[in-house]
Amino acid sequence: MNSYVVNLHPIPNGTQPGETLTVTNAAVSQFATSFDPRTSCCYITITGGDLHITFDGSAPSASNGHHIVVPFEGWWSKEAARLAKMKAQSGANSKVVMSQFTY
């Protein structure tokens, strides 16, 4: 049996720019970028201070949400990136960088 595989890795979506957020503990942050319909996943890196994040519409806090420990890097679905609400833990601000990819 023969098969032809071209590229199993995500391809950068050149139609939408990436976005960089500075997340503080003073307010909840979300990505403001519009997501291209062809985007299937987003590559996320987080540096600086730890943060809390929710995906269910609730406000993140020290007692609510996932605790992300920096440094962090990983792949999120487009929907997860669109719904993410972030708030830095008290102390250092977090720098969150997101780029859109498609298959």
Residue 98 maps to a domain: yes
The upper half-sphere exposure of residue 17, i.e. CA atoms within 13 Å in the direction of its Cβ, equals 4
Residue 93 maps to a domain: yes
Instruction: Give the Cα separation of 46 and 49 in Å (integer).
Output: 8
> Which residue stretches of the chain have pLDDT < 70?
1-9
Count other Cβ atoms within 10 Å, centred on residue 27.
Answer: 9
Residue 8 maps to a domain: no
Residue 89 maps to a domain: yes
pLDDT of residue 7: 54
- pTM score, two decimals? 0.84
Domain that holds residue 83: 15-102
Residue 7 maps to a domain: no
Residues 6+ apart with CB under 8 A from 76: 41, 42, 44, 84
| 72-98 per-residue burial string, b: 16 or more CB within 10 A, e: under 16 | eeeebebeebbbbbbbbbeeebbbbeb
Residue 1 maps to a domain: no
pLDDT of residue 31: 94
The domain total for the chain is 1
Residue 25 maps to a domain: yes
Q: What is the CATH number of the domain that holds 57?
A: 2.60.120
Residue 82 maps to a domain: yes
Instruction: Give the Cα separation of 15 and 61 in Å (integer).
Output: 34
Amino acid letter for position 30: Q
